[in-house]
Chain A
Amino acid sequence: MLESLLALGGLVLLRDSVEWEGRSLLKALIKKSALCGEQVHILGCEVSEEEFREGFDSNINSRLVYHDLFRDPLNWSETGETLPGGPLEALRALCRRTDPGPVTIALDSLSWLLLHLPCTTLCQTLHTLSHQDSCHGDSSPGEQVHVLGLLHEELHGPGPLGVLSSLAQTEVTLSGAMGQASAHILYRRPQQRLTHQTQWFSILPDFSLELQGGPPLEPQPYPDPRVPSMDPTTHLTFNLRLSKKEREAKDSLTLPFQFSSEKQQALLCPGLGQATSHIFYEPDAYDDLDQEDPDDDLDV
């Protein structure tokens, strides 16, 4: 899946960190698309052009169009070599590019652009850049624009990271274990579920991508195996199981309205201390206790 990252189109975000750097993966993807015959434009902001081009052989280097923002970002030398207008103008020029054919645009570092450009302008420009194919009328799937952005995730807070993740079609987070790098790829296609995959890889010295064994999982919808499954029987307000003592106590409980043999005996033979109950009645002043039967007066 890592090798077909570019086939998906749109913005691909490569998030790296201090321990696992992403520039080599960026260069490997650039090399792959250059070998496929696409045009490659690189906006270099963080490293010099010589350093970026080193490691590529000459036929690849001839295909790369490098826009250098590293040497003179503020255009102090005014030699006319650097792009006027700074990085924003460079991005806009890439948007207005009208050459046909599939193209890959690599932003050497989105972090640099984030720190130097206002955020909303950058987001809008990135969106226009990655959706360029739709404004050129009908475009075959081979004519897509692929934008690769390298983002150093430790430099930014949760706000910018969240926004760029929502803009990106594919997000690759680099991590690793025991000297082996892995890429956690999260990609979403429109109208479809999110899928993710973890791929172990290594980059060879000539910047070709080699996929490793490791534990590469097949693409699956996004479960997170680190989180333990929740047990619904925790934190209930009632007991689900009885201990042995509780069970015995429950069994030996006599119910109040059950007529057991003990009760029968108690009622039949009043014991020593038990007296049968008597009712004592004191008639009121209003009670008419006449022993005669009132029906006796009737002559029936």
Chain B
Amino acid sequence: MAAAASCSTSTRSTGSVVVAASRNSVTSFQRRGPRASGTDSGCSRLVSIAGTRPSVRNGQLLVSTGLPALDQLLGGGLAVGTVLLIEEDKYNIYSPLLFKYFLAEGIVTGHTLLVASAKEDPADILQELPAPLLDDNCKKECDEDICNHKTESNIKMKIAWRYQLLPKMEARPVSSSRFGHYYDVSKRIPQELIEASKWHGFFLPEKISSTLNLEPCSLNHGYIKLLQFIQNIIYEEGFDGSNPQKKQKNILRIGIQNLGSPLWGDDICWTENCDSNHSLTKFLYMLRGLLRSSLSACIITVPTHLIQNKAIIARVTNLSDTVVGLESFIGSEKETNPLYKDYHGLIHIRQIPQLNNLIYDVSDVKDLAFKLKRKLFTIEHPPTPTVLLPSQTSTSRGHSPVW
């Protein structure tokens, strides 16, 4: 009896992905259709949007954050409809990188982007995105296809002639059927990818005219404008299902940079008790409401090291779904610590959301360090202290710990 029960649970676990993916279909046994649903094949009734996949834990639809290592730490990816909050490091060197990875992933998978910033023009931010790393085979195929486009039709397929009538697979430059791509930080994204993508920009100095007398209201004017902008985009482009789309459903990726800094008009980095203590928290609350009712995912970077009131930091953390903190070693005493000499900082997964779930999804790794190599941003475990013991030669027995 116990054996039968374990057998059934094992089959359920293997088939759970398929079951979860095919919630909308009649039968639970469904062949998993092709992920890149560019062509509307009639066989699969899955609602599969490019660049997303269902979570194996709770069936939530996930998008990639752009860093496969971070996806793994967050339990597969970022859930659609949630907010990823990045606590910036002290000199704001590494958090823009995570921000750019998120946006680059959106371009590569064909999602719509919405970039909001008070510091830089969104067009400039998009120019600086990292270039995606193509598979070498795919690239070679592309080149070959381009050169011998004419001659390949009848020469091949002497043996596998039955496949000649099948439609040709397009060798697209980037395979958007994969979940999570790798990027080369030292190169810029090719211009044609940016032009082929759809994006909306919100640059605060342009949207707000600098008038002196703005009547004080409960929410900051910059935040109000941003919320209205996001709401308009969601409504007009149908991400919340308001205009039933004949065309493909898509995800809106929202990126907001340096939220809470004085450039957005917020006082919380300045003093501990200020009038607009609640602007940021109200903004996050309303933003989360907008996100939950639409097919969108949002990344926000907040300079929490500048916020003077610790209660606001706690509230901001609670109001976001996934919180990742970056702590760089520059200027701190950890830089000279021999444990951390290969790394540039620590990454803390502070919070993982509990979406439609009773189980707490706590990340089981507590200490993670990141390193920015020339081309790649990697996240690893730093070595434990005993590994780095200096090998002394005075005693022959070596160091054996004695309990």
Contact = CB atoms under 8 A, between A and B. Distances in A.
B355 to A, nearest CB: 33
A127 B119 CA distance: 8
Contacts of A229: 336-338
B402 A230 contact: no
Contact of A233 (B205, B303, B335, B389): B389
Interface stretch (B68-76, B264-272, B288-296, B360-368): B264-272
B297 to A, nearest CB: 25
Interface string A220-262: 0111100111101100101111100010001000000000000
12 contacts: A120-B262, A123-B263, A124-B118, A127-B118, A159-B270, A166-B306, A167-B263, A193-B330, A222-B331, A230-B338, A230-B339, A233-B389
Question: What 3 A-B pairs come out closest when comparing CB atoms?
Answer: A238-B401, A123-B262, A232-B385
Given A121-B212, A159-B306, A193-B93, 17 more contacts: A88-B212, A119-B262, A120-B266, A120-B270, A124-B205, A127-B205, A128-B205, A134-B124, A157-B271, A159-B308, A163-B269, A166-B92, A166-B303, A167-B263, A194-B91, A224-B333, A239-B402
A273 to B, nearest CB: 36
B119 A119 contact: no
Interface of A: 88, 92, 119-121, 123-125, 127-128, 134, 157-160, 162-163, 166-167, 188, 191, 193-194, 221-224, 227-230, 232-233, 236, 238-242, 246, 250
B305 interface: yes
Contact of B330 (A222, A230, A242): A222
Nearest to B401: A238
Given A124-B262, A166-B261, A222-B331, A227 B399 contact: no
Contacts of A230: 333-334, 336-339
Tell which of B92, B121, B261, B270 has the most Cβ of chain A within 10 Å.
B270
Nearest to A239: B402
Contact of B331 (A121, A124, A162, A224): A224
B335 A224 contact: yes
A223 B340 CA distance: 13
Nearest to A221: B330
B61 to A, nearest CB: 33
Interface residues of B, number: 44
A231 B194 CA distance: 49
B27 interface: no
Tell which of B119, B210, B397, B403 has the most Cβ of chain A within 10 Å.
B210
B184 interface: no
A300 B103 CA distance: 91
B330 A194 contact: yes
A149 to B, nearest CB: 15
A134 B127 CA distance: 14
B91 A188 contact: yes
A223 B339 CA distance: 15
B335 A223 contact: yes
B237 interface: no
